[in-house]
Structure 1
Amino acid sequence: MTRFFVGAYAAAPSLTGWNPSAEGRFLKSVAELEGVAGLEVPFTGALHKDDEAWFLRQLPEQADFVVTTIPGTMARLSSDPCFGLASTSTAGRRAAIDFIRDALKAVGRLNERVGRSAVVALEIHSAPWADGQHASTAALSDSLTEISQWEWNGAQLALEHCDAFVLGQAPAKGFLSLEEEAVTVRRVIESTGRPMGIAINWGRSVLEQRRPEAALEHINFLREGDLLGGFVLSGCAGVDTRYGAAWADVHVPPAPRTERHAGPSVESAADLDVLEASSLLTVERMEECLRAAGPGTGKNFRGIKVAAPPHATVEQRVAVISKTLDLAIYAATQDWPSRTAP
């Protein structure tokens, strides 16, 4: 069975206030769900925005982890628009490299806590805003070349593709295009001999191009170049929802199954309350993307990341993850036609 890393922080109780008891119940319940490989952990300067030492004590020792630097990257961009690994500003690029060095130290702390190399990937990003002035592939290449030479304690670097800058379109992230990232990563791999991949987030690819086919196209593009390093199921919507505005990067949960997918575990009324009918992420689209991506093995991880409804209880927060996980596992276990990997 395909197992998924869960970006539980996107639905965590701590988003609305720090309550260690509620956060602890939430994390324990998520970790115990069937099909969970481990957690996608956000790095903001620490591994938990409220209490890293407390968080590390909660981790199940048998789980694996993916660490993402996107929350910390976006926080720094809010005060310094030149911050990023692809920055044309020397100071902004150096600050981003130092930030990734701090993230690596955090990976070491997590590994030490569970007693093994449990972090399979560290997700990094091609910030800042790629409007033709603030970011370049040359700067990204220099940054990746430098940091790829470090000792990563068992983790692999995964450049997560966020929505690219599109002229005339308000971006969520607005970083480099996937084609620019792929050329740069390939160049660094060839020059350094160090492995590195590119991760796709379904919702971020789709909101970039305003087309639900975009994620599948991105996966196929990376598979053809043998660069796919991860794939995360996270939704978006082309209309306003309770999670945010149309085309916002807010991790909209998937849509409920249609009659085609009815079965013994069809959604209950409570399940429907935590799913989102307007989501463009349907079970059919999960199926086609998971089929194209192939099984998650080694450092090519699979994940889910969804938000919880506003004012959700701990139980509802766990439920939205549980139901999304159920749909992902269902999609991953359908009979697929044989496919020859590139």
Structure 2
Amino acid sequence: MNSHQKPFRVVGAYAAQPNAAAERRAFLDGVLDLPGVDGLEISWGAPGWDEDFPILADLLERRGGQGRHVLTLIGAAASAAAKDPKVGLASTDAAGRARAVELVAAAHRAVADFVERGQRILAVEVHAFPSLPAAAAGEGGCALEASLREIASWDWGGATLIVEHCDARPTDGPWQKGLLPLDVEIEAVMAAAGAAPTPLGMAVNWGRSAIEERDATAPERHARRLRSAGLLRGVMFSGATGREGAYGPAWSDVHPPLREQVGESVMDRGHVAATLDAAGAGLLYEGVKVAVRPQEASTADRIALIRGTLDALDAARSTR
């Protein structure tokens, strides 16, 4: 649990970073200089990581060990599953599940390297890939439990292992990530957590919960469900669109900011406040991850979009 008086606050800056590597240093410095920001959500192993890592390592070294960061495997895991749809921690294929565990083992080594460099990793977010038909969700949940038991037996240097919920695959109709239902994930995490030396928990991604039900109130329900199960450790505020626009088709997993900044977004200040209220006290971390349109946006505009959603978190917390 978090002994800090309030949740640590992280920014998934990678979703809004400039395409040009030369501009990223100033951008990341600007993000970490925003009031109330404790650290970054770092997209370890994602496409482009080899280019991002030297910039990030230099930035964090210059800043010392003051930050509190979250490592997410979403990009790495999604990329692996795209190349081979049998790969994932919830895979019902033994070889595919083993490959996913190997990927997490590589992230485990990366966490050890960050710690050795003097950085503090609060949590490591993993995900219930691959996408399975709804009829196979129960079997996928058993596979996820087995994977979690294995990876939670490792020493993570004080980090909590987090299953970040993504939109579940429906019986019919479209999906984005299309992973396991929330209750199946809860059952797997609770079963694995019993004897695990590493703390296990779960997180809500606002946008993906909204996408799952095509409903901007779904994240509140998911947060409340996880809180009642005693598993909620994090909430990441990444929006969703209710209609087509600059961010693409409606209900795409594209991380728009607040509605006041992008009209097609369904995430407004009221929904942010309601989700935080549903989450209650005891979060380890909260954060913001928003993408930017157009791609040519200036560094200042990128930081302004992030700050807008951070301001909504501040406003919500000021009334609690």
Amino acid of the residue matched to residue 72 of structure 1? A
Please report how far the alpha carbon of residue 139 of structure 1 lies from its aligned counterpart in structure 2 after TM superposition.
0.8
Mark the CA change 1:293 to 1:154 in structure 2 (over 3 Å): closer, same or farther. Answer: same
Please report how far the alpha carbon of residue 181 of structure 1 lies from its aligned counterpart in structure 2 after TM superposition.
0.2
Please report how far the alpha carbon of residue 3 of structure 1 lies from its aligned counterpart in structure 2 after TM superposition.
4.8
Mark the CA change 1:155 to 1:192 in structure 2 (over 3 Å): closer, same or farther. Answer: closer
**2:26 paired with 1:8:** no
**2:159 paired with 1:155:** yes
Please report how far the alpha carbon of residue 43 of structure 1 lies from its aligned counterpart in structure 2 after TM superposition.
1.2
Mark the CA change 1:97 to 1:83 in structure 2 (over 3 Å): closer, same or farther. Answer: same
**2:170 paired with 1:166:** yes
| Aligned with residue 303 of structure 1, among 275, 287, 292 | 287
| 1:182-193 map, 5 Å | 182-192=186-196
Structure 2 gaps of 5+ residues are 1-5
2:267 is matched with which residue? 281
- Aligned partners of 2:50 and 2:280: how far apart in 1? 34
| Aligned with residue 122 of structure 1, among 118, 121, 124 | 124
- Aligned partners of 2:30 and 2:54: how far apart in 1? 20
Counterpart contact for 1:290–1:331, Cα < 8 Å: yes
**1:221-258: per-residue Cα shift (whole Å, max 9, x none)?**
111110102111111011012112100010010122xx
**2:236 paired with 1:216:** no
**2:291 paired with 1:326:** no
1:27 is matched with which residue? 28
1:272 is matched with which residue? none
- Aligned partners of 1:49 and 1:13: how far apart in 2? 16
Amino acid of the residue matched to residue 11 of structure 2? V
**2:83 paired with 1:79:** yes
Amino acid of the residue matched to residue 245 of structure 1? P
- Aligned partners of 1:156 and 1:229: how far apart in 2? 9
Cα RMSD of the aligned pairs, angstroms, is 1.8
SS in 2 for 1:136: helix
TM-score by length of 2: 0.92
Mark the CA change 1:33 to 1:71 in structure 2 (over 3 Å): closer, same or farther. Answer: same
Please report how far the alpha carbon of residue 333 of structure 1 lies from its aligned counterpart in structure 2 after TM superposition.
1.3
| Aligned with residue 181 of structure 1, among 170, 182, 185 | 185
| Aligned with residue 247 of structure 2, among 231, 235, 243 | 243
SS in 1 for 2:203: strand
**1:156-179: per-residue Cα shift (whole Å, max 9, x none)?**
100000000012221111110000
TM-score by length of 1: 0.86
Percent identical across equivalent pairs? 36
- Aligned partners of 1:194 and 1:63: how far apart in 2? 21
- Aligned partners of 1:46 and 1:9: how far apart in 2? 11
Amino acid of the residue matched to residue 297 of structure 2? A
Please report how far the alpha carbon of residue 47 of structure 1 lies from its aligned counterpart in structure 2 after TM superposition.
8.8
**1:236-288: per-residue Cα shift (whole Å, max 9, x none)?**
011012112100010010122xxxxxxxxxxxxxxxxxx11221111011111
Structure 1 gaps of 5+ residues are 257-274, 337-342
- Aligned partners of 2:128 and 2:150: how far apart in 1? 14
Mark the CA change 1:326 to 1:296 in structure 2 (over 3 Å): closer, same or farther. Answer: farther
Please report how far the alpha carbon of residue 45 of structure 1 lies from its aligned counterpart in structure 2 after TM superposition.
6.1
SS in 2 for 1:230: strand
- Aligned partners of 1:107 and 1:306: how far apart in 2? 24
- Aligned partners of 1:78 and 1:322: how far apart in 2? 32
- Aligned partners of 1:3 and 1:144: how far apart in 2? 24
Counterpart contact for 2:240–2:256, Cα < 8 Å: yes
Counterpart contact for 1:206–1:213, Cα < 8 Å: yes
- Aligned partners of 1:323 and 1:293: how far apart in 2? 21
Amino acid of the residue matched to residue 290 of structure 1? L
SS in 1 for 2:38: strand
- Aligned partners of 1:155 and 1:84: how far apart in 2? 21
Please report how far the alpha carbon of residue 195 of structure 1 lies from its aligned counterpart in structure 2 after TM superposition.
2.1
SS in 1 for 2:115: helix
- Aligned partners of 1:219 and 1:86: how far apart in 2? 22
Counterpart contact for 1:120–1:155, Cα < 8 Å: yes
2:3 is matched with which residue? none
Amino acid of the residue matched to residue 294 of structure 1? G
Amino acid of the residue matched to residue 10 of structure 2? F
Mark the CA change 1:47 to 1:187 in structure 2 (over 3 Å): closer, same or farther. Answer: farther
1:197 is matched with which residue? 201
| Aligned with residue 146 of structure 1, among 134, 150, 169 | 150
